Each structure stands twice: as C-alpha cells, then as structure tokens.
Amino acid sequence: MSYSAAIDQLNAMAPELYSHPGQPRRKFSLDEVRILLAALGDPHRHFRSVLIAGTNGKGSTAATLASILIVSGLRAGLYTSPHLERVNERIRIDHAEIADDIFARLYFRVHDAAQQLVQQGRLPQHPSFFEILTAIAFLCFAEANIDLAVLEVGMGGRLDATNVVDPLLSIITDISLDHTEWLGSTIAAIAREKAGILRPGGRMIRLPQCTEADDVMNEIARELGVRWLDASSYIPPQIEQANQDKELGAPSIPRFFKEKMRNGWETTEAGPYPVNVLDSSIEVVSPLSGAHQHRNIALAIAAAVELARDYGFHITPHQIAEGIRLTQWPGRLEHIVRGGISWILDVAHNPAGASAVRAELFCVYGEGKAQTLVFSCLRDKPIAEMAQILFPHFEQVVLTPIHSARAASMEDLVAAAQLTGKPFFVAESVAAALQLASKHTSTGPIVVCGSVYLVGEARSLLLAERGI
C-alpha cells in the first residue's frame, strides 16, 4: 500500500482529543497499547529510552537532547508531537524524518494487526491516531537498532501511549494549565498526571517551579523512591532570576543574553554563557530564542550528564555544547524574512506559551513595538485569556480560521478580540491572513502564533512564498 493511502487512512481517523456534543468520550488504556505492541513483537523493549512530560518545553528539551546524542556519535531516535507540516516529522533518526515508504509499510503493519485484534475481541476499539503513530515509531526505532530514543509524551503522562516504555530517565518540564478537560482543572491535578511517567526506584530530572507542581512531584517521588535530579546548576543564576522576574511582570533583559543581527532584525538568543558540565566548563549557545529556553536546555544538559555518568553513554562536554548549538526545532520563536518583512512564528497554544512569546518580544522590541499579530487557536483553549496576554501588545490583530475539527469559531475569536479593545481584521484563510498582515505592516515584525495548525500552514506558505 502507498504512503498516500496510509496518510488518507490516518487523516480519516480524526485525531481529536475531544468528542463532539452528544458523543461519548474515548477512554484510553495502556493495557490496550500493550496488547497492540505485543502483537507487533514488543518493539519498545528493543531500545532504551528517555521519556519527557510537561506542559510547555517538552519538544525543545527533546530536540536539544537528541541533538546532543547525535553529535556524540550515538544513533538517536526522536519521537515528538504534534507536527507542523508532515506527520513524518514526528519520527526521526539522527535528524532524518522517517521515509515515506518505511512509514507506509509500518503503518499498514500496525493497522492490520490492530484490525485483527479488534476482530478477535482482544481490543475493544481500534487504536487512536496517536497510539498508531506511537507503535509506528517504536517499530521504526527497533528496526533501526538505535542506541537511545528520546520520547515526548503526547498529553498528560499516566495514560499516554508512550508511557509503556521503561525509561532510563523521566524528565518533567514546566507545568501549567492545559488540556483541563482531560487532565484536571488545577496545577496539582495536572502535575499528578505528568508524574505518571515516574517509575519505582527511577530517576527524575526537573527544575523547581510553582509550589503546587513541586509539592505533587516531591510527594510522588518520595512514594516511589525516585531519585530527583535538579537541573538548576545548568542555568546561570542571573538568567534564572531574570526569568523569575519576568514571570512576576518585570520583563528586564536577562544578563548573558547575546544580542545578534539575524535575518535583518535584532534578537536575543540563549548564550553564550558558561556552565560547568562533567567537571569542565562549556559555553552554552542555542539557536532557540527566548528566555524560557534556558530551562529546557538545562534539562537536556542534566539528562546528557546523567546518561554519561551512570549509563555508560560516551558524551563529552564539548559534544554537549556542540549538540546544543546545532539543535533544530522550527516553529518556536522562529524568524523568517520574506519580501523584506520579518516574521516570527511560535506554536504558543496556551497562556504560558503566549506569555513566553510576549516576554521575548519585550526583550527585543520593548513595550508596544511589535506591530501585527496573526492569531487563531483551538476551541478548547482559554481564548479570552490568551487574547488578553497577547493582543494589547500589538497595533493590530488578524484573525484567521485554521484547518482542524477542534478550531475555535470565528465568532469566539472576534468576541475575544473585542474584549481587548485592539483593532482587528478577519481573514478567510491563513494565506489571506498573511497577505492582510503584510499589507498593514510597515515596521516591526509580524508574529504568527496561537496554534500548531496555524504555524504549520503559515510556515509552509512563507517558505514557498506563495503570494506573500
């Protein structure tokens, strides 16, 4: 069967987390994932792994750690979600996306096995979109005989399909409110779901964060006898203090930021700053923009150090520094210049992500200097809250529909914009939104954020320069 047929079947599965009104909510179970994987030969037992959960920063942490492993000469698998443009992006080995023919072959192997299990009554329902993709990733990594897989949890942790592995390390990134219909309405409840990736006697890498999350993590770590590794030593104190100041509403520019001219506009990047790693000092320089990335980079460094010290992976300080420098992770405060216009693309899809974008814009431009925002999001997000965080800092906003069954209605987007009192335009499509934003922007950047679906389509259009 062809790749296009595999993609058509996947897309027909409607990979939605939320049921439509009147429809029962799907129940997820790791037992079902294990049954499927057992029928496939338990591929997840043929490689070692690191598992990463959290609300924001999972992908950046995973991409940075994978880059370090690759520079170290290790064969590294990387499984992330969601994707920006093509589903193949989610499954990578040594930076290369899974090939179309391999994807198709593995998809139909998983699909046929699942169908047979349902017919035999061993599975009560066909696996979900994410469960199918996870099984494909595990098969791909097992066949490639990788040294280590870096796995990003899709949602939550406890019941996520990735949580069937027995990870060497469990990494917890920053936790905030998101997916509350599934994970709970409080930080404590969400933290408990994220902590589901911890194992008795295992190892957890994390950073101190809000008291609610810390209390839950500490409690569960004690119950399970988990060794907690704090990555704080890999963040220079001055930067961490500045990050905390920003969260308190005082967006001062952190020390150790290196301001550069890139693609015709000034930005702040993570580095260089010194960090002591494996008894040596390295300079940290990352292409990932934004003060919040210091925390994600620190988690990746801590994981690499632990893998080197206690698990026999040959990873040197120089390789850690080089891996950070060569990290590839598009759509995260990514800067693109087209037609003399600077664009900033970020997949910020919740209030915490929106706040990080706002803080970075303040660092670079100062208050009220950013000109145009192109925005859309999913209906299950706190639209009004995200609008209040972002819209007041732009001269005008362009609202656009996106291609998703979970997309927020234009009526809801307009209502949120009206509450902010900022001028706004309504576009018929993402392509039209980009053209409208270009027309009304003379100076400063155009920022595109609010949804992965929005950024993925906008990025594809900008890179192809289709009428922009």
The range of the structural domain enclosing residue 155 comes to 3-325
* Torsion from C-alpha of 13, 167, 293, 324, nearest 10 degrees: -110
Claim to verify: residue 343 and residue 265 sit in the same structural domain:
no
- What's the pLDDT tens digit per position in 113-164? 999 999 999 999 999 999 999 999 999 999 999 999 999 998 888 889 999 9
Claim to verify: residue 342 and residue 296 sit in the same structural domain:
no
DSSP state of 386: H
Q: Which residues contact 468 (CB under 8 A, 6 or more apart)?
A: 338, 339, 431, 434, 435, 438, 461, 462
Closest Cα to residue 253, out of 335, 362, 369, 367? 362
Claim to verify: residue 271 and residue 163 sit in the same structural domain:
yes
Distance (Å, rounded) from C-alpha 188 to C-alpha 267?
Answer: 35
Claim to verify: residue 178 and residue 195 sit in the same structural domain:
yes
Backbone angles phi, psi at 263, to 5 degrees: 55, 30
Distance (Å, rounded) from C-alpha 191 to C-alpha 413?
Answer: 29
pLDDT given for residue 406 in this prediction: 84
Distance (Å, rounded) from C-alpha 243 to C-alpha 205?
Answer: 19
pLDDT higher than 70, residue 261: no
420 pLDDT band, cuts 50/70/90, is very high
Distance (Å, rounded) from C-alpha 171 to C-alpha 461?
Answer: 34
Distance (Å, rounded) from C-alpha 30 to C-alpha 170?
Answer: 18
pLDDT given for residue 199 in this prediction: 95
Contact present, 282 and 320 (Cβ < 8 Å): yes
Q: Kindly state the percentage of the chain with pLDDT values over 70.
A: 85
pLDDT given for residue 123 in this prediction: 95
pLDDT given for residue 155 in this prediction: 80
Distance (Å, rounded) from C-alpha 365 to C-alpha 265?
Answer: 10
pLDDT higher than 70, residue 208: yes
The residue from 325, 357, 372 where one domain ends is 325
pLDDT higher than 60, residue 215: yes
pLDDT given for residue 350 in this prediction: 85
pLDDT given for residue 40 in this prediction: 98
pLDDT given for residue 361 in this prediction: 79
Backbone angles phi, psi at 287, to 5 degrees: -75, -10
340 phi-psi bin (left φ>0, alpha ψ -120 to 50, beta other):
left
pLDDT given for residue 340 in this prediction: 82
pLDDT given for residue 260 in this prediction: 31
The pLDDT mean for the chain works out to: 86
Cα separation values, 429 from 67, 123, 426, 450, Å: 35, 40, 9, 15
pLDDT higher than 50, residue 255: no
Q: Concatenate the DSSP letters of all residues of 297-349 into one string.
A: HHHHHHHHHHHHHHS-----HHHHHHHHHT---TTSSEEEEETTEEEEEE---
Helices (H), 21-166: 30-39, 58-71, 100-119, 129-144
Please state whether beta strands 169-172 and 49-53 pair in parallel, antiparallel, or not at all (unpaired).
parallel
pLDDT given for residue 256 in this prediction: 30
Question: Domain with 69 in it: what CATH number?
Answer: 3.40.1190.10
Element housing 192 (H / E): helix 187-194
Claim to verify: residue 350 and residue 445 sit in the same structural domain:
yes
Claim to verify: residue 84 and residue 195 sit in the same structural domain:
yes
pLDDT higher than 50, residue 66: yes
Distance (Å, rounded) from C-alpha 305 to C-alpha 309?
Answer: 6
Contact present, 26 and 128 (Cβ < 8 Å): yes
Instruction: Report the Cα–Cα distance between both ends of the chain, in Å, rounded.
Output: 37
Claim to verify: residue 238 and residue 275 sit in the same structural domain:
yes
The residue from 325, 360, 380 where one domain ends is 325
Element housing 187 (H / E): helix 187-194
Claim to verify: residue 348 and residue 296 sit in the same structural domain:
no
289 pLDDT band, cuts 50/70/90, is confident
**To which residue do tokens 């940290």 refer?**
284
Q: Please say whether the dihedral angle defined by the alpha carbons of residues 54, 353, 465 and 329, taken in this order, is positive or negative.
A: negative
- The total number of structural domains in the chain stands at 2
Claim to verify: residue 247 and residue 378 sit in the same structural domain:
no
Claim to verify: residue 213 and residue 233 sit in the same structural domain:
yes
Claim to verify: residue 296 and residue 367 sit in the same structural domain:
no
Question: Domain with 375 in it: what CATH number?
Answer: 3.90.190.20
Report the half-sphere exposure of 30 (CA within 13 A, side-chain side). 12
The residue from 306, 325, 344 where one domain ends is 325
DSSP state of 122: S
Claim to verify: residue 298 and residue 435 sit in the same structural domain:
no
